[in-house]
Structure 1
Amino acid sequence: MTRRLLNCRLYSHAFHVTTPIFYPNAKPHLGHLYSSLLCDVFHRWQLFKGNGSLFTTGTDEHGLKIQLASMNMHYANPKEFVDELYKDFVRLDENANIKYTRFIRTTDPDHVINVKKLWNLCLKNGYIYKGQHSGWYSISDETFYPESRVIPDPKDSRKYINTESNNDVVYHSETNYFFKLSAFKDRLVSHISNNPSFISPEVKRQQILKELTGEGALQDLSVSRPSCRLKWGIDVPQDPSQKIYVWFDALCNYISSIGGIDAISRNNLVPTNAICHNMEGNPYQNSKLHPQLWWKNTTHLIGKDIIKFHTIYWPSFLMAASLPLPKRIVVHSHWLCDGFKMSKSLGNVVDPIEMIEYYGEDPLRWFLLENSQLEEDGDFQESKLFKVKEMMAMKWGNLINRCCGNKFNLQRAVSTFSNGETQESVQNVFESESMIKKKIEQIFLNLSELSLLLDHCINSFQLRAALRTVWSLIDEANTLIQLSEPWSRNSKEQDAIIYTCMETSRIISILCQPIIPKLSCELLDRIDVSAAKRTLKYAEAHTDNSYGSNANSKGRGAPIKRINKRAH
């Protein structure tokens, strides 16, 4: 009983968030960064709150596309090819300050072992069988499509395309292993219906329920390919004439990355240090949390184009293997550029590393989060990214610069108005000026509600409202300075105004550390907030009476620099 109660307590504080593992057949794009960023902010926020959190990402390195691309690029073998390509994804994460727990590759030995274990469990339980398969196969999508979703290519009558992705398909007939996907229709419908948060947003949950309950919704799935055609993949156990279907392989990464199938299916406690080795200084390396607890609180964050694989195939594989399901699957939309789908032919493909090199990682992180919603495609406009950088300098940076000017004394203001039991009410200084008093009261009220708003928005992967609230708070603080003109007032009134504005910046900067980690640190450095007082405990008004000691000294630079518009 004691162990069970302990596990229950720990379970509520254990989080595991995943990106899809990315296919490294081309350089990473804005969509890859967006998935990683949403997970990174969620992961950092849980750690910030004192919870246990794992964040896994990686690359999906098997399949016919990789095999053909490596041949076309004249590599000796596909492994040499992916050994080069995966580095681009690691580099993007490094440049964007994405701090994952583990970067898994499907060529990692422990993953290969777990894929075979998953296969054997499904086989043992009677859900895999051998048969003849004929159908329309898309090399680009690594999947078969039914006849009803195949049409002649409007651009070339000699070819055929599928209506889901519009990619080419060719007709194949071959002997494969099949997975009894049709056996899971009712169980999937029941689980999705009874667990409304299993798929979000709600519109995506309804989409999958509609697909599952439609006529002839689920057919058995081909889960292997002949080795004579697909050479670059994991051998089917006991049958090297077949390679395991790339999606069966890839989806298993979510379990491989946190300890493997044995770890989530047995009852003894297993230290998590075995799965945290890719992140130096991880505060949970010595945690005794059972991998089952991480897995049962797993969130898969995916793009809308791979929803079927994650909400239908993956839960079915897990059910067939008698393994528990993840907690939820969150689906996000894609990114356009200036209103158009990104494509090489249009010349509008956004290189995220190029944007980071010019604007910095934090302005790009902020832009992507503020200008997106899960339900709608985002629209990248470089002019808006430039505006974010400008606003950070002109509104946030300038707010600090003004209050840290040599006309004021932040240390004195903090000492006066954040001094424990003897604290003097800021608002009371302006009893005879109702407009200023109400403005200050409203600022502190809004600050008191900010952490809860951020918590809700981050947990739902919808940050737009929270970031716009941050801007409104910064605007309120700037407006307070304009209205009150502290430079023309006595020292006590001056200190009350400066303190209010710098408490605004201090609290916002602390709370925004998971969102803009580098910039938040620089803003807090500028007003001399000690490293020990940048935790959630201090993200409330009047909790830090020691900052600002050197803030008004001459020669200290602006925390955010303005830049010129980028030449094209």
Structure 2
Amino acid sequence: MISRVWSRRWLSKVSHVTTPIFYPNAKPHLGHLYSSLLCDVFHRWQVLEGKESLFTTGTDEHGLKIQIASEKNGFASPREFVDKLYNDFIELDRVSNVKFTRFIRTTDPDHVANVAKLWRLCYERGFIYQGEHKGWYSVSDETFYPESKVVKSPTDNNKYINTESNNEVVYHAENNYFFKLSAFKERLIKYIRDNPSFIYPATKRDQVLRELEGESNLQDLSVSRPSSRLKWGIEVPGDPSQRIYVWFDALCNYVTSIGGIDSLVTGETPQTNLKYLGNHPKVSSRQWWQNTTHVIGKDIIRFHTIYWPAFLMAADLPLPRNVVVHSHWLSKGVKMSKSLGNVVDPLLMIDYYGADAMRWFLLENSQLEDDGDFQENKLHNTRELLVSKWGNLVNRCCGAKFNLHRAVSIFASNDSLISAFEDEPALKKAAEQLLNELAAVPSSMNDQISTFQTRLALRNVWSIIDQSNTFMQEAKPWAKSGTQQDAVIYLCMEASRILSILCQPIIPTLATRLLNRIDVSPERRTLAYAKVGADDFYGHHANDKGRELPLQRKVQRES
């Protein structure tokens, strides 16, 4: 559990959140969506709070895997291959309502230029040198693994795998450029210990520290590949016989996306980059970088918490604010694989159940430290609960027997709500409890969303929805009249209104429909209005007959 003091200290008035850039050698999967969704909700929450915020994502388009995949799929060139596949990732973001501010491709000209700049800084400072590399290489991971992390394949005695990703490795020798990773062990340990929020959650920070402290010495890292083997990559500056290692290339995207290497040195954002920075021209690249959060999957933690900080230290550049590490998604308790036939197609699920139901399900059924388990029946149940609990609460209060606008006009501008229940002590106590929950929920959701504890945030929401439904059932407004009836309707709809405002980053379309259903003005959907009595002007036509339901029921898909 994250303390409120810590989480608020973590944040500032400027925010930049990033997904990993995704490898477009195949269609996007559930893991890609989950990373993007965590970032999207975080970014939308910053915007809802009125902060300056950027959200960058993209595709990692160089490397041997891309080169091999393009040849295997019959493309004339790797460029033609990535030009086709990167659109699949943009399409997934579109249908899932993920709103990035820049989609960066490592083939973008400004990125290629920045990778070369980062290389030169490391090289000129003596942290890149030439040498021969012999070791166990994984084509899938595009990295060498130490002998200690190589074992025989449990399924094929003639093959070897690495214990980190379980992908096949082959013994290989070649001439490369090397990065002096060995020079940064103690400096990395000190930085991580001095900045405990740099790697989050704490269990992942402790994991990285154990790894760093447990190794007698960090091995220098091969950061180039021969052009004879890797044709599809950025050329090493001054040496056309070598291509830059894909991770050295890819990690630099985070700096490119907010202005580039030069802007971190000078603190100024070049005018050419303003098109990517939206309506934030007064925020410098250095400010964005100091408030950058990388959201990554646990399988790439070493690249982001050891290699990337070391590259930046070598170039004498500042480090980002922190790295948030999330777990993976299983399918019915088993790792997804094509051979098992249990791979979940996020586009198919969204097409049938809707983006908001999918977003809610993934955020509610996951936490950073544990793998999520996708089960379609649970996704269907999530959608049904949104209809039966939240949708039904709104529909009942907007029935023809009631008058929400009248209730708002009576109770929004005075403190007489609780006095309406003076003759019914049990209802008065329930109303007071609900009001206390509504007063606390904006702050608690801020703490939870700002620290990626979305599961806790949605549990809070469900608790208030359940309380509101119970309160209405026990208060029986259909059996009341006058101010007593209006008090019940007002309190229940204040709960829905406030929760709808707070849930806009989570379920943007459904939240908009819920607010539209009770006639909340667009300009009154900010956090300033997320408190009881803050909006005294809604519900004008909420009780008119024939209004569209915010969400319709749907039977479970036949698989």
Give the TM-score category using the shorter length.
over 0.9
User: Aligned partners of 1:189 and 1:115: how far apart in 2?
Assistant: 26
Displacement of 1:276 in angstroms is 2.3
| 1:421-500 matches, cutoff 5 A | 423-500=414-491
2:553 match: secondary structure:
coil
Displacement of 1:562 in angstroms is 0.5
Pick the aligned partner of 2:357 from 358, 363, 375. 363
Displacement of 1:239 in angstroms is 0.1
Query: Is the contact between residue 272 and residue 290 of structure 1 (CA under 8 Å) also seen in structure 2?
Result: no
Residue 8 of structure 2 corresponds to: none
Letter in 2 for 1:332: H
Residue 196 of structure 1 corresponds to: 196
Displacement of 1:217 in angstroms is 4.0
Residue 216 of structure 1 corresponds to: 216
2:253 is equivalent to residue 234 of structure 1: no
User: Aligned partners of 1:532 and 1:459: how far apart in 2?
Assistant: 24
Query: Is the contact between residue 16 and residue 298 of structure 1 (CA under 8 Å) also seen in structure 2?
Result: yes
Query: Is the contact between residue 151 and residue 161 of structure 2 (CA under 8 Å) also seen in structure 1?
Result: yes
Residue 74 of structure 1 corresponds to: 74
Measured at CA, do residues 346 and 291 of structure 1 come closer, stay the same or move farther in structure 2, by a change above 3 Å? same
Query: Is the contact between residue 507 and residue 538 of structure 1 (CA under 8 Å) also seen in structure 2?
Result: yes
Displacement of 1:90 in angstroms is 0.3
2:524 is equivalent to residue 530 of structure 1: no
Residue 552 of structure 1 corresponds to: 543
User: Aligned partners of 2:494 and 2:354: how far apart in 1?
Assistant: 26
| 1:130-145 matches, cutoff 5 A | 130-145=130-145
2:495 is equivalent to residue 501 of structure 1: no
Q: Give CA deviations for 1:463-498 in whole Å, capped at 9, x if unaligned.
A: 111101111111111111111111111211100000
Residue 62 of structure 1 corresponds to: 62
Residue 8 of structure 1 corresponds to: none
Q: Give CA deviations for 1:173-199 in whole Å, capped at 9, x if unaligned.
A: 111000000000010000000111000
2:115 is equivalent to residue 121 of structure 1: no
Displacement of 1:518 in angstroms is 0.6
Displacement of 1:272 in angstroms is 8.8
Query: Is the contact between residue 92 and residue 347 of structure 2 (CA under 8 Å) also seen in structure 1?
Result: yes
Query: Is the contact between residue 270 and residue 290 of structure 1 (CA under 8 Å) also seen in structure 2?
Result: no
User: Aligned partners of 2:322 and 2:288: how far apart in 1?
Assistant: 13
| 1:346-385 matches, cutoff 5 A | 346-385=340-379
Residue 401 of structure 1 corresponds to: 395
User: Aligned partners of 2:360 and 2:536: how far apart in 1?
Assistant: 29
Structure 2 residues without counterparts, runs of 5 or longer? 1-10
Displacement of 1:558 in angstroms is 1.3
Pick the aligned partner of 2:294 from 296, 300, 304. 300
2:502 is equivalent to residue 511 of structure 1: yes
Pick the aligned partner of 2:409 from 415, 428, 437. 415
Letter in 1 for 2:406: R
1:135 match: secondary structure:
strand
Letter in 2 for 1:259: G
Measured at CA, do residues 216 and 424 of structure 1 come closer, stay the same or move farther in structure 2, by a change above 3 Å? closer
Letter in 2 for 1:142: E
Report the TM-score when normalising by structure 1. Answer: 0.95
Query: Is the contact between residue 270 and residue 289 of structure 1 (CA under 8 Å) also seen in structure 2?
Result: no
1:164 match: secondary structure:
coil
Measured at CA, do residues 212 and 275 of structure 1 come closer, stay the same or move farther in structure 2, by a change above 3 Å? farther
Q: Give CA deviations for 1:18-76 in whole Å, capped at 9, x if unaligned.
A: 00000011111111000000000010000110100010000000010100111111111
2:383 is equivalent to residue 389 of structure 1: yes
Pick the aligned partner of 2:309 from 312, 315, 318. 315
Query: Is the contact between residue 211 and residue 217 of structure 1 (CA under 8 Å) also seen in structure 2?
Result: no
Pick the aligned partner of 1:543 from 521, 534, 555. 534
Query: Is the contact between residue 257 and residue 275 of structure 1 (CA under 8 Å) also seen in structure 2?
Result: no
User: Aligned partners of 1:49 and 1:273: how far apart in 2?
Assistant: 25
Query: Is the contact between residue 56 and residue 104 of structure 1 (CA under 8 Å) also seen in structure 2?
Result: yes
Query: Is the contact between residue 300 and residue 330 of structure 1 (CA under 8 Å) also seen in structure 2?
Result: yes
Displacement of 1:158 in angstroms is 2.1
Report the TM-score when normalising by structure 2. Answer: 0.97
Query: Is the contact between residue 311 and residue 329 of structure 1 (CA under 8 Å) also seen in structure 2?
Result: yes
Structure 1 residues without counterparts, runs of 5 or longer? 1-10
Query: Is the contact between residue 334 and residue 377 of structure 1 (CA under 8 Å) also seen in structure 2?
Result: yes
User: Aligned partners of 1:399 and 1:119: how far apart in 2?
Assistant: 59
Letter in 1 for 2:193: S
1:292 match: secondary structure:
helix
User: Aligned partners of 1:527 and 1:199: how far apart in 2?
Assistant: 43
User: Aligned partners of 2:248 and 2:551: how far apart in 1?
Assistant: 47
Letter in 1 for 2:419: N
Q: Give CA deviations for 1:224-266 in whole Å, capped at 9, x if unaligned.
A: 0000000000000000100000000000000011110001111
Displacement of 1:274 in angstroms is 1.9
User: Aligned partners of 1:105 and 1:25: how far apart in 2?
Assistant: 14
Displacement of 1:560 in angstroms is 1.0
Residue 5 of structure 1 corresponds to: none
Residue 3 of structure 1 corresponds to: none
Residue 335 of structure 1 corresponds to: 329
Residue 112 of structure 1 corresponds to: 112
User: Aligned partners of 1:487 and 1:145: how far apart in 2?
Assistant: 69
Displacement of 1:170 in angstroms is 1.1
Query: Is the contact between residue 271 and residue 289 of structure 1 (CA under 8 Å) also seen in structure 2?
Result: no
Measured at CA, do residues 125 and 470 of structure 1 come closer, stay the same or move farther in structure 2, by a change above 3 Å? same
Measured at CA, do residues 34 and 500 of structure 1 come closer, stay the same or move farther in structure 2, by a change above 3 Å? same
User: Aligned partners of 1:101 and 1:263: how far apart in 2?
Assistant: 19
1:402 match: secondary structure:
helix
2:440 match: secondary structure:
helix
How many residues align? The count is: 549
Letter in 2 for 1:195: N
1:397 match: secondary structure:
helix
User: Aligned partners of 1:23 and 1:550: how far apart in 2?
Assistant: 49
Query: Is the contact between residue 416 and residue 424 of structure 1 (CA under 8 Å) also seen in structure 2?
Result: no
User: Aligned partners of 2:484 and 2:377: how far apart in 1?
Assistant: 40
